[in-house]
């Protein structure tokens, strides 16, 4: 018998991203852009290449996301004083309000996805997933 965990986790993640993107259309951002903003807010003034590493995506993929975030006035690229080829990323004040709206969308999508579970089951599942993620991060 084949394991279904990887397949199911991918499928659930895909559905969550689709629902998030549908709700976030009004704001004009995608799940990938929101993810970049969240990680940038936790790593202010980081280099683009470092943010790509954190997001586990190719730097060229991040460049387009940052272009769009910069056009929206949410992020600013600043020349790195130590490396003239690099840029450091700064969240603009407007980003915080937009991120709050996106968190509200994420919370609503999560509530919809988890509504079939009891509160205790939700807590247990979250705890188990966090434990799996931590364990996997330690082996990298």
**For tokens 């704001």, what's the residue?**
27
At 39, the pLDDT band (50, 70, 90 cuts) reads very high
Check residue 93 and give its pLDDT. Answer: 95
Q: Is the pLDDT of residue 58 over 80?
A: yes
In our burial notation (b when 16+ CB lie closer than 10 A, e otherwise), range 108-134 reads ebeeeeeeeeeeeebeeeeeeeeeeee
Rounded to 10 degrees, the C-alpha dihedral 76/80/81/82 comes to 160
Pick the CATH number of 20-115 from 1.25.40.10, 3.20.20.480, 1.10.10.10, 3.30.70.20: 1.10.10.10
Q: What is the pLDDT of residue 110?
A: 92
Burial class (CB in 10 A: 0-12, 13-18, 19+), 92: middle
For all residues of the chain together, what is the average pLDDT? 91
φ/ψ bin of 56: left (φ > 0), alpha (ψ from -120 to 50), beta (otherwise): left
Q: What average pLDDT does this structure show over 106-133?
A: 93
Query: What pLDDT shows up at residue 83?
Result: 86
Q: Would you state the pLDDT for residue 1?
A: 64
pTM, to two decimals: 0.78
């Amino acid at each position: 018998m084949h394991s279904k965990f990887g397949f199911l986790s991918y499928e659930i993640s895909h559905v969550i991203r689709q629902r998030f993107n549908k709700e976030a259309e009004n704001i004009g951002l995608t799940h990938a852009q929101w993810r970049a903003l969240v990680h940038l807010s936790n790593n202010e003034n980081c280099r683009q290449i470092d943010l790509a590493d954190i997001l586990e995506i190719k730097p060229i993929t991040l460049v387009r996301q940052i272009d769009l975030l910069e056009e929206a006035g949410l992020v600013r690229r600043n020349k790195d004083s130590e490396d003239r080829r690099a840029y450091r990323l700064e969240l603009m004040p407007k980003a915080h309000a937009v991120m709050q709206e996106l968190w509200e969308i994420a919370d609503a999508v999560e509530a919809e996805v988890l509504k079939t579970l009891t509160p205790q089951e939700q807590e247990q599942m979250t705890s188990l997933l966090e434990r799996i993620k931590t364990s996997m991060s330690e082996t990298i």
